Amino acid sequence: MASRLQIEGDESVLLRVTHSNLKSFNADIRFSLQMSVEAVKEKLWKKCGTSVNSMSLELYDDNGAQIAELSTFKKFKEKLAHQKPSCASTKVADNYMEDLCANIKVGDRCQVEPGEKRGVVKYVGRAENLGPGFWVGIQYDEPLGKHDGLVKGTRYFNCPPNHGGMVRPDKVQVGDYPERDPFEEEEI
């Protein structure tokens, strides 16, 4: 007998997907039982915008009990850094990605990868408390961000709650990116 998330005779399962950082994100997505973990992550990347390398998948049963946790490369790297500190340390220059900021101006419409999240550039410059190098502050059109422009105690810009994000310049494309119609249907 199939669970309430699986249709009998169907080779797919309906998964309830949530996001640890995007509290408002909640979706039911149908996945084939034949899909690999990487294929599932790719499908989720298109839906929520979190990069595949940053994902940690946790699987729960119908009763809410955790069945499995799939680790990420990021966690593996952190674990390796504790075991062999010399392997993990790489010095980032203070002018890291400064050249990419030349074409990014405050007020520009933009699209942030991954996830094709759209918004407006609100800040371009250094953000010492995030790390060395240059950063771009974005006000997203939708509540896909992590803050309101206040990051680790420093105000970089103002925007509505959960509309702000700080990203590296290589993730930002400026150009003609109008706001999306929220009623436009997308296929998953």
Residue-level pLDDT, tens digit, the chain, 188 residues: 344 444 455 566 667 777 767 666 667 777 776 666 777 777 777 777 777 667 777 766 677 777 666 554 445 455 556 655 554 455 778 888 889 999 999 999 999 988 889 999 999 999 988 888 999 999 999 999 999 999 989 999 999 999 999 999 999 999 999 998 777 766 55
N-to-C CA span, the chain: 27
How many domains is the chain built from?
Answer: 2
Report the CATH number at residue 161.
2.30.30.190
The C-alpha atoms of residue 28 and residue 49 are separated, in whole angstroms, by 16
Instruction: Return the DSSP state at 24.
Output: T
Are 62 and 119 contained in the same domain?
no
Query: Last residue of a domain, which of 85, 109, 141?
Result: 85
Confirm whether 6 is domain-assigned.
no
Domain contains 78: yes
Please give the residue range of the domain that contains residue 133: 99-174
pTM over 0.75: no
What are the C-alpha distances in Å from 73 to residues 54, 58, 92? 8, 15, 20
Choose the final residue of a domain: 85, 110, 132: 85
Other C-beta atoms within 10 Å of 45: how many?
17
94 part of a folded domain: no
